[in-house]
């Protein structure tokens, strides 16, 4: 069973991801993002949006985090940062990797060496099913930036 | 540029994955697997088979490893280990996670605490594109067990 102490720890981790993503958008784009209250997901098959940057977590706790968003969110970021008006699919994949890497990298800095992250792996589109291991609690944090929607999904033991 | 020393190190890592996967099949199923020589993949978009168990690597080196195989490979393993004749899609997802976890866990034990692994995340089917970050060398190791084909893909800095 998922215990109270672990729940509190997990919610602290979610808060670090929320701060990190809001800092990212606020500082780098000049336009703040809104995040909604994280909710615990019980169903395995979490919906993915157009582009997803996924990062493995290891150390004291083990799991995964991903940020998934619509094409237009990443398009707008590429245009803003790289001044490319018509980004290629490869530019968007790189941007999705970069966003998840920077956001997770900041959380990693707060936790120190017992919270380690892999490189990001990125998909365009979604596989038929996506599953975290049994017993790994999964939180979802909805993000809104300008008119674009995205979310952070964290599965962590 | 990808240097000679790193190439040698990477090939040693591939050898550990080869030993680990061959031990897995040899010891647990009684039927040995054959692995082919690892090859360096230069194209980003690596093909996936029906089920894929993916694990993040962090520590001194950062990356990802996944094992991807056909439905019938995982079906046969579930039937053998759990005595389930008609495994559900969920059983097969769990089996794909388990295979990648055990194989990577053995490599992790050889390397010790500077080679850390996340939990496995598993997909059924493939997203439209899958991309490792730029500059991460990717090796592919083909596996054959009975009539089934699978492969290990390792992207590691």
pLDDT digits (tens, 9 = 90+) for A86-125: 999 999 999 999 999 999 999 999 998 889 999 999 999 9
Give residue B108's pLDDT: 93
| Domain harbouring A17, CATH code | 3.40.1550.10
Q: Would the pLDDT of A42 be above 80?
A: no
B131 and A122: CB-CB below 8 Å?
yes
> Which residue of chain A comes nearest to B155, CA vs CA?
A119
Number of domains in chain B: 1
Confidence band for B105, pLDDT divided at 50, 70 and 90: very high
CA dihedral defined by B5, B6, B12, B17, rounded to 10 degrees? 180
Q: Would the pLDDT of B122 be above 90?
A: yes
Q: What is the ipTM of this complex?
A: 0.90
Confidence band for B61, pLDDT divided at 50, 70 and 90: very high
Mean of per-residue pLDDT scores for chain A: 92
Give residue B2's pLDDT: 59
Give residue A43's pLDDT: 64
Domain that holds residue B115: 4-156
Residues of B in contact with A128 (CB under 8 A): 123-125
Give residue B78's pLDDT: 96
Confidence band for B45, pLDDT divided at 50, 70 and 90: low
Distance from CA of B44 to the nearest CA of A (A): 10
Please, what's the b/e burial string for A75-107 (b: 16 or more CB within 10 A of its CB; e: otherwise)?
bbbbeeeeeeeebeeebbbbbbbbbbbbbbebb
**Interface with chain A: mutation pick from B63, B127, B156, highest number of A CBs within 10 Å:** B127
């Amino acid at each position: 069973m998922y215990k109270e102490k672990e729940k509190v720890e997990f919610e602290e981790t979610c808060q670090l991801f929320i701060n990190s993503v809001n800092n990212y958008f606020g500082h780098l784009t000049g336009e703040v993002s809104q995040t909604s209250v994280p909710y615990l997901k019980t169903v395995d098959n979490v919906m993915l949006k157009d582009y997803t940057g996924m990062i493995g977590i290891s150390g004291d706790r083990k799991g995964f985090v991903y940020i998934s968003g619509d094409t237009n969110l990443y398009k707008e970021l590429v245009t803003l940062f790289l001044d490319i008006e018509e980004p290629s699919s490869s530019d968007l994949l790189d941007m999705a990797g970069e966003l998840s890497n920077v956001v997770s990298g900041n959380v990693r800095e707060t936790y120190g060496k017992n919270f380690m992250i892999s490189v990001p792996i990125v998909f365009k589109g979604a596989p038929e099913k996506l599953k975290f291991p049994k017993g790994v609690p999964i939180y979802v944090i909805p993000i809104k930036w300008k008119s674009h929607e995205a979310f952070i999904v964290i599965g962590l033991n």
